[in-house]
Amino acid sequence: MGDLPDDAILWSVNSDIAKVQRQNMYNAVFFTFTGFFAIIICFKILSVFGLDNMIILFILAVIIAFMLWKELSRNIRKMALLDLVAIGSGHPWHPSEGMENNSVFVSDGESWHLIPPKVRISPQPGSGNESTLLKKNDMDGKTMLRWQHPPDPLTRGVLSLINQALSFRDAQERDFDSEDPIEMAREREELEFYPVERVWEETTQGSLAPEPGALLRKMRTHSAEIINKDDEQ
């Protein structure tokens, strides 16, 4: 993966994204040790009942290993997907107080791509259903990049979270008298053709509300605008 863009950092700088990543790491370690001890326990139980047949043990070991490897792979892939997104230091999910760079970047595994303002990502199956095309706004939009991950619920869930980050970015940039992109997104997802059913958190509470730094810088901006208007009168 290429170097991060200037003034950008992986979005795990957000405490809630970081919490998800830590949980994925814990799960990966847990399932690794669970698989090892499960095989040993099965061997001991079979020995107690005089059923320590190597063929039976091998079959049980394969079944346990397959089930745990499937869950382990899922957690590893989720960690990899979450590492494909970066935000600027001015994004509402960043804990800093600056607002100069609220960009959202997505990586294809080799280089980083800036997602333009007022753009949302629409996932579409790639060739052989083994990759996901990230298209601009809808299925007829331009292909912005390709992820080497299948378009399954896990991939779509991460893309759903990215679109929330894009909505918060646009909401921070909007004029006070313009339509709120977060509310627009909620309405858009009620349409039948929208590919992902998403759970939107309230902006005043919830797991991914803007960080305190973002709220503080927003309040400062509003105060500065009021002061400037008073000076002009």
Domains of the chain: which residue ranges?
1-233
Res 115: pLDDT: 95
Q: What is the pLDDT along the chain (233 residues), one digit of tens a residue?
A: 678 888 889 988 888 888 888 888 888 888 888 877 877 887 777 777 776 677 777 787 788 888 888 888 888 898 999 999 999 988 888 888 777 788 999 999 899 999 999 999 999 998 878 899 999 998 889 999 999 999 999 999 999 999 999 988 888 876 555 555 555 555 544 444 334 444 444 444 344 555 555 544 544 444 444 444 444 54
Look up residue 201 and give its DSSP letter: P
As given in the structure block, the two tokens for residue 24 are 């994925």
d(CA 28, CA 73): 8
Alpha helices by DSSP H, listed for 49-150, are 54-82
In degrees, rounded to 5, the angle at the alpha carbon of residue 84 between the alpha carbons of residues 135 and 134 is 10
Look up residue 13 and give its DSSP letter: G
Alpha helices by DSSP H, listed for the chain, are 15-48, 54-82, 153-173, 181-188, 212-232
As given in the structure block, the two tokens for residue 221 are 């901006």
d(CA 52, CA 35): 19
Res 176: pLDDT: 52
d(CA 37, CA 107): 37
Which helix (H) or strand (E) segment is 124 a member of? strand 121-125
d(CA 178, CA 171): 10
Res 219: pLDDT: 42
What global pTM score does this model have?
0.68
Res 177: pLDDT: 57
Res 128: pLDDT: 79
Res 180: pLDDT: 52
